[in-house]
């Protein structure tokens, strides 16, 4: 099966991890700071805070903003559930904005219609790897005194108007899950220029305790203070070693993803049943996903039949995503309903994600293209 995404691992990555496994510090060691500094330099922000997952990064961001019960945070309907769950972890309420029909990115007009006196923040999700309309979102945030957060878990290596993803919002979160651009197994990062927020998130990932194990060992002291409630959201040193090794290859990998997307774009240009998502002119797309919209008028095929047909051909297609407000948890707890985000709900019945990942050979890309072409042969 050709997966929709997967990690790429070379001998250099493996050696980097093994070296740390033979060292004194498996966790809370020197590599955390090294990875953070390297990452911040790569993005161009003052600070980067490494944590145990992209979800932990989002939770830490909500904590740093001081989201509490009664607060509302606007989240797009099309995203992974973690983008909304992080608001609920803090006792807040996610309010679901609809998406643009062409790009499936959060629609600034819908964001405006979601505003209330309780709104504290907007979480922009760079769906599929395409940066959102940050100028419009920042404008709304400024006018209403809100904080803009970027869930950039899809868009590491991307750019918006020549500014790198990770530098576009007050807080920007990343995931290093194996399907993402670079991996640490599990892992995440938040980038920011705000030192106070960075410090709050470092406390938060370590139980709310002011010093970590290594700092106490260096000082020769047993004393520490817990000043607020935190979690254990630490990343290990061997994961950071892997992250640094992978980060070196990011530019090359983004180019590979963009090349695959170019081949798909060219191949599907003449197929009336397949429409790739719209790419805006002012972005450098990082292509975490390659999403097509199926235009099935004039065929007797359904999304589900096409999905299974791909799977039977050994192509691990997927659907990203079931709109978050349609999940039973949100319907039961937050009374969300069918019909509240019509664009997202309609898109969900028409989209399919095709395989795209670093190290995907052109043979495999051609095979996927041939399968897409042959899908419709006997159905028009």
Ligand X SMILES: *Cc1c(COP(=O)(O)O)cnc(C)c1O
Determine the length of the chain. 380
Q: Under the criterion CB under 6 A, does residue 96 sit at the interface with ligand X?
A: no
| Annotated catalytic residue within 180, 275, 350, 377 | 180
Query: Strand ranges (DSSP E) for the chain?
Result: 47-51, 72-76, 93-97, 119-125, 147-151, 159-160, 163-164, 171-175, 188-192, 274-276, 283-284, 290-294, 351-354
The least distance separating ligand X from the CB of residue 305, rounded to whole angstroms, comes to: 27
Whether the bond between 305 and the residue before it is cis, its omega within 30 degrees of 0, is: no
**Residue 256 and residue 129 in contact, taking contact as beta carbons nearer than 8 Å:** no
Which residue stretch of 38-46, 48-56, 294-302, 324-332 sits at the interface with ligand X (rule: CB under 6 A)? 48-56
139: CB partners within 8 A, 6+ apart: none
What is the C-alpha to C-alpha distance for residues 369 and 349, in angstroms, rounded to an integer?
Answer: 21
Site for ligand X in 231-270 (CB under 6 A): none
Q: Under the criterion CB under 6 A, does residue 191 sit at the interface with ligand X?
A: no
Element (H, E) at 308: helix 303-312
What is the C-alpha to C-alpha distance for residues 21 and 345, in angstroms, rounded to an integer?
Answer: 47
Among 27, 28, 45, 83, binds ligand X (CB under 6 A): 83
- Strands of the sheet containing 163-164, edge to edge, are 163-164, 159-160, 283-284
Of 142, 192, 139, 202, whose CA–CA distance to 170 is shortest? 192
The least distance separating ligand X from the CB of residue 125, rounded to whole angstroms, comes to: 5
Annotated catalytic residue 252? no
Residue among 53 and 103 whose Cβ is closer to ligand X = 53
What is the C-alpha to C-alpha distance for residues 144 and 342, in angstroms, rounded to an integer?
Answer: 25
Task: State which residue has the least CB distance to ligand X.
Answer: 54
Q: Under the criterion CB under 6 A, does residue 53 sit at the interface with ligand X?
A: yes
- Strands of the sheet containing 171-175, edge to edge, are 47-51, 188-192, 171-175, 147-151, 119-125, 72-76, 93-97
Residue among 97 and 372 whose Cβ is closer to ligand X = 97
DSSP 8-class letter at 318: B
The least distance separating ligand X from the CB of residue 45, rounded to whole angstroms, comes to: 19
Residue among 181 and 200 whose Cβ is closer to ligand X = 181
What is the C-alpha to C-alpha distance for residues 157 and 129, in angstroms, rounded to an integer?
Answer: 9
Residue among 83 and 130 whose Cβ is closer to ligand X = 83
Among 87, 99, 125, 260, binds ligand X (CB under 6 A): 125
Residue among 239 and 273 whose Cβ is closer to ligand X = 239
Which residue stretch of 75-83, 160-168, 194-202, 219-227 sits at the interface with ligand X (rule: CB under 6 A)? 75-83
Among 175, 184, 192, 256, binds ligand X (CB under 6 A): 175
For residue 191, give the 3-state DSSP assignment. Answer: strand
Number of residues that bind ligand X (CB under 6 A): 14
Annotate each residue in 55-74 with x if it binds ligand X (CB under 6 A) or - if it does not, as one string: x-------------------
Residue with tokens 């309609």, as numbered in its chain: 346
How many beta carbons lie within 10 A of that of residue 33, not counting itself? Answer: 13
The least distance separating ligand X from the CB of residue 176, rounded to whole angstroms, comes to: 7
Q: Under the criterion CB under 6 A, does residue 79 sit at the interface with ligand X?
A: yes
Q: Under the criterion CB under 6 A, does residue 4 sit at the interface with ligand X?
A: no
Annotate each residue in 129-158 with x if it binds ligand X (CB under 6 A) or - if it does not, as one string: ----------------------x-xx----
The least distance separating ligand X from the CB of residue 289, rounded to whole angstroms, comes to: 9
End-to-end CA distance of the chain: 28
Among 82, 84, 360, 368, binds ligand X (CB under 6 A): 82
For residue 98, give the 3-state DSSP assignment. Answer: coil
Residue among 137 and 371 whose Cβ is closer to ligand X = 137
Among 188, 243, 323, 355, binds ligand X (CB under 6 A): 188
Residue among 132 and 261 whose Cβ is closer to ligand X = 132
Sites of contact with ligand X (CB under 6 A)? 53-55, 79-80, 82-83, 125, 151, 153-154, 175, 177, 188
Q: Any idea which residues carry the catalytic annotation?
A: 180
């Amino acid at each position: 099966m050709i997966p929709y995404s997967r990690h790429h691992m070379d001998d250099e990555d493996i050696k980097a991890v093994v070296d740390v496994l033979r060292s004194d510090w498996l966790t809370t060691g020197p590599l955390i700071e090294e990875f953070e500094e390297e990452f911040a330099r790569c993005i161009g922000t003052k600070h980067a805070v490494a944590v145990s997952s992209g979800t932990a990064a989002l939770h830490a961001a909500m904590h740093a903003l001081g989201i509490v019960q009664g607060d509302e945070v606007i989240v797009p309907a099309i995203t992974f559930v973690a983008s909304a769950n992080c608001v609920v972890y803090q006792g807040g309420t996610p309010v679901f904005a609809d998406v643009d029909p062409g790009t499936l990115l959060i629609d600034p007009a819908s964001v405006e219609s979601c505003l209330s006196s309780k709104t504290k923040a907007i979480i922009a999700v760079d769906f599929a790897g395409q940066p959102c309309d940050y100028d419009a979102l920042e404008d709304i945030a400024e006018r209403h005194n809100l904080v803009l957060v970027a869930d950039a878990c899809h868009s590491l290596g991307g750019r918006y108007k020549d500014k790198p993803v990770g530098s576009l919002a007050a807080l920007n979160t990343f995931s290093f899950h194996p399907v993402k651009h670079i991996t640490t197994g599990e892992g995440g990062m938040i980038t920011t220029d705000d030192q106070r927020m960075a410090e709050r998130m470092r406390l938060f990932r370590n139980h709310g305790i002011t010093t970590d194990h290594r700092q106490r060992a260096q000082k020769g002291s047993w004393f520490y203070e817990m000043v607020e409630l935190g979690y254990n959201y630490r990343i290990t040193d061997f994961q950071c070693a892997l992250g640094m090794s992978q980060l070196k290859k990011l530019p090359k990998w983004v180019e590979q993803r963009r090349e695959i997307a170019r081949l798909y774009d060219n191949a599907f240009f003449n197929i009336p049943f397949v429409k790739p998502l719209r790419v805006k002119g002012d972005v450098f797309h990082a292509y975490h996903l390659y999403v097509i919209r199926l235009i099935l008028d004039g065929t007797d095929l359904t999304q589900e039949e096409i999905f299974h047909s791909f799977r039977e051909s050994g192509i691990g297609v997927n659907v990203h995503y079931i709109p978050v407000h349609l999940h039973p948890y949100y319907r039961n707890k937050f009374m969300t309903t069918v019909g509240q985000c019509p664009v997202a709900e309609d898109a969900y019945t028409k989209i399919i994600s095709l395989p795209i990942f670093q190290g995907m050979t052109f043979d495999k890309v051609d095979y996927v293209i041939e399968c897409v072409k042959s899908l419709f042969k006997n159905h028009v």
